[in-house]
Amino acid sequence: MSVNSAPVAPTPLPLSIHGTPYSSTFLIGSEDHTLGNPLRHLLVSSQTSSVSFAGYSVPHPSEHVLQLRVQMYEKGGKTSKESVVEACETLGRICEVIEETVEREHGKIVKDEE
């Protein structure tokens, strides 16, 4: 750390879940709009049969914490946590599709690292 930078306090918890299994608020540490907005979008647009509401906020810009609220239509089916996991997996698949398409377009030039 350089002399000029102020240490940012580490997030107390990487994750905590509040509420009931079918309407939960997830407090996610070390994440911000970068992950929050795509997840919110996927919860709202890709699981319309089960998710009734999804929203996110970053309560304070200097605290690296993301709040994600997920509510389900019915109790007994998929839980909020399961739908968040599903949204993360969908995001992963989308990233893979983008990566494959970019690689195909640029040929093997992009082949690096690993």
Partner 1 sequence: MSSLYDVTEKGVQPNPLKPTPSTKTSKEYINMFKKDFQYKVISDDPNELVCLLSNIDVSIANAIRRILLADVPTMAIETVYIDQNTSITHDEVLSHRLGLMPVLADPTEFEVGGDEDTDWNTLVFQAHCKKSNGTDHAKFSPVCTASYRMLPVIKMLDNVRGEDAEELCTLEPGVFKLIEKDGEVEAVIDDPMKCTMSRNYLMNPRLKSKIKIERSGRDFIFCIESVGQVEPKKLLKRAVQILKEKGERLVRVLEEEGN
Residues that bind partner 1 (CB under 8 A): 2, 5, 14-17, 21, 26, 28, 31, 33-35, 37-42, 44-49, 81, 84-99, 101-103, 105-106, 109-110, 112-113
Supply 86's token pair: 């599903």
Q: Which is nearer to partner 1, 3 or 59 (CB)?
A: 3
Distance CA 21, CA 82 (A): 9
Q: How far is the CB of 89 from partner 1 (least distance, A)?
A: 7
Q: How far is the CB of 53 from partner 1 (least distance, A)?
A: 14
* 31 dihedral zone (left: phi>0; alpha: psi -120 to 50; beta): beta
114's CB contacts (< 8 A; 6+ apart) are: none
Q: Which is nearer to partner 1, 59 or 97 (CB)?
A: 97
Q: How far is the CB of 15 from partner 1 (least distance, A)?
A: 4
Q: Which is nearer to partner 1, 59 or 101 (CB)?
A: 101
Distance CA 50, CA 77 (A): 8
Q: Which is nearer to partner 1, 13 or 59 (CB)?
A: 13
Separation in Å, CA 23 to CA 52, 62, 112: 10, 27, 43
